[in-house]
């Protein structure tokens, strides 16, 4: 190859590179969540429930026990046991739904936010360092890509 020549990468090759990068990312995230689970002394299902509740809280959405069961694809009996464990650990509280007094919602506690922040914050620092390298236009594209990808994955569940 000559020093001045360049090789064009096809769209299919770019798609393949992106899919391989996503596979690598999901593997890294799985390992990060495994370490977080171990550091917090909980099982994977409990951590997945807490992550879902944090995300929903950030969106301003309430979470019912039924939402937890549906998200994790577990029975209502398993959900009750999971919420009992998280309540006993001081991570969640059950409250009456503000608009439907017959229903309950699950609310994250200050203790969870502090514990989660301590463990997750240290793991987020290197991720933030990478994100901050990109300009606003790049971040808008990356954000849109990740949001659309997440939504497509959710739609197939």
pLDDT in tens, 21-72: 999 999 999 999 888 888 888 899 999 999 999 999 999 999 999 999 999 9
CB–CB of 94/70 below 8 Å? no
Q: Where are the domains of the chain?
A: 11-41, 43-108, 109-157
pTM: 0.78
pLDDT for the residue numbered 10: 94
**What is the residue whose two structure tokens read 């090789």?**
7
The CATH architecture to which 43-108 belongs is Orthogonal Bundle (1.10)
Task: Please write the tens of the pLDDT for every residue from 82-137.
Answer: 999 999 999 999 998 888 778 899 999 998 888 888 888 788 889 999 999 999 99
Question: Judging by beta carbons within 10 Å of its beta carbon (0-12, 13-18, 19+), is residue 91 exposed, middle or buried?
Answer: buried
Residue-level pLDDT at 4: 57
């Amino acid at each position: 190859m000559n020093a001045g020549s360049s090789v064009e990468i096809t769209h299919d090759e770019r798609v393949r590179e992106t899919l391989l990068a996503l596979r690598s990312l999901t593997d890294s995230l799985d390992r990060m969540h495994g370490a977080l689970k171990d550091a917090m002394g909980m099982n994977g299902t409990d951590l997945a429930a807490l992550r879902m509740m944090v995300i929903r809280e950030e969106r301003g959405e309430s979470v019912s026990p039924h939402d937890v069961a549906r998200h994790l694809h577990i029975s209502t009996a398993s959900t009750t046991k999971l919420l009992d464990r998280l309540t006993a650990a001081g991570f969640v509280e059950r409250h009456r739904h503000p608009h439907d007094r017959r229903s309950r919602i699950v609310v994250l506690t200050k203790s969870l936010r502090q514990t989660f922040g301590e463990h997750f914050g240290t793991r987020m620092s290197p991720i933030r360092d990478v994100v901050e390298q990109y300009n606003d236009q790049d971040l808008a594209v990356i954000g849109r890509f990740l949001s659309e990808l997440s939504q497509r994955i959710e739609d197939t569940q």
